[in-house]
Amino acid sequence: MSNYDLALIVDATTFNKGLQQAFSNPQTKSLFSGSQTVGSAGITSLDWSIDTCPVFNLTPPTAAQWNDPATFFPGPGGKPANGPSDQMFQISITTLSFTLNQDGGGKIPGTCSPLIFAQLSLNGDVQLQTVGMQFGNVPAITGVMLEIMASVLYGKVNQLLGGYKIPHTIALEGQKFNDPVMQVAAGHLILASTLSTNGTVDISQVTFPAQALGILLSRNLLSQILASYASGIEQVLDQQNVNHSGSNWTGSYSINGGISGAKVALDSALPAVDVSANISAEVKLGVAWWAVPAACAIEAASNLL
């Protein structure tokens, strides 16, 4: 049975907007090109340039992609044992230009189309990190040269992904949550948590709405949030002496009373909310003729809701 209290949903368009802004900004353009010293396999350095903005594809890599001999895993741990998983996604780069500078002054220029495999991890906040990559449309260069390019690109893409700050949960006053379950599905990144009193997250049977950015709250969480407002509804009407002269009456009155027994609950049809309270008012009149003050007393009380 599905179980979650809070879910954050982010689609690829939202992620891509961030990359597009960085790619078009002269101050951050340096993140997309550079030169890296190599010093191995006869290569002195690698000049590289991402010529087209990378694009998020929030779909896990397939088993065939993951196990392809042409897939490189240049990270410190090599090929992760847990892949491919529903916590992974892809980033495509249409055009990467490069020049391999060789000992003796030779140069090997070329272009290719890298496909990056990345994953979600939880370290305080949610982090995005490169795990592997493939090279499409690559020219005839050696596997060692591709390994060099993969190693350099691994670190550079991680720098880009480090710019995304994703909280592990949404802060709601007075509410405590368990660590989230993270999932990539149907073109969305999904983070789902339960209240600390509500056991383990299970979103295996949940169909989330197709929206760019959204936050979903369970009926249980909404009820707890709304219940915290009940004390705020309970008010005391301090004695107010009112002197008034108008067409209906002339004189003074005072109101004593307040609002008690406040209840706030979800209606059967979301997002309607039922609010109920006991309203009491004692009206003391200083006039001989009465037409309006009773209505004034109820209005004064209802205005506090």
Over the stretch 97-144, which tens digit does the pLDDT of each residue have? 999 999 999 999 999 999 999 999 888 788 899 999 999 988 888 889
Q: Is 119 left (phi over 0), alpha (psi -120 to 50) or beta?
A: beta
pLDDT score, position 36 = 93
Kindly report the three-state secondary structure assignment for every residue of 4-61: CCEEEEEEHHHHHHHHHHHHHCCCCHHHHEEEEEEEECCEEEEEEEECCCCEEECCCC
The token duo for 169 is 């949960």
pLDDT score, position 242 = 47
The token duo for 212 is 């760019």
pLDDT score, position 217 = 78
Closest of 131, 132, 114, 127 to residue 189, by C-alpha = 127
pLDDT score, position 59 = 94
pLDDT score, position 291 = 33
**Distance from chain centroid for Cα 63:** 27
* Gap between the Cα atoms of 6 and 195, Å rounded: 8
The answer to whether 124 touches 179, Cβ cutoff 8 Å, is no
* Gap between the Cα atoms of 135 and 62, Å rounded: 16
Sign of the CA dihedral running 227, 211, 18, 82:
positive
Closest of 234, 281, 236, 238 to residue 261, by C-alpha = 234
* Gap between the Cα atoms of 2 and 277, Å rounded: 34
The token duo for 272 is 């309607």
Task: Name residues of the chain where pLDDT drops below 70.
Answer: 173, 227-305
Q: Is the peptide bond before 54 cis (omega within 30 degrees of 0)?
A: no
* CATH architecture, domain 6-161: Super Roll (3.15)
Cα atoms in the 13 Å half-sphere on the side-chain side of 285: 12
What are the φ/ψ torsions at residue 219 (nearest 5 degrees)?
-60, -40
Burial of 1 (0-12, 13-18, 19+ CB in 10 A): exposed
* Gap between the Cα atoms of 66 and 161, Å rounded: 20
Q: Where in the chain are all domains bearing CATH 3.15.10?
A: 6-161
pLDDT score, position 231 = 58
pLDDT score, position 87 = 92
User: How much is the pTM?
Assistant: 0.73
- Reported in sequence order, the residue ranges of 43-167 that DSSP labels E, i.e. its strands, are 43-50, 55-57, 88-92, 96-102, 107-123, 125-136
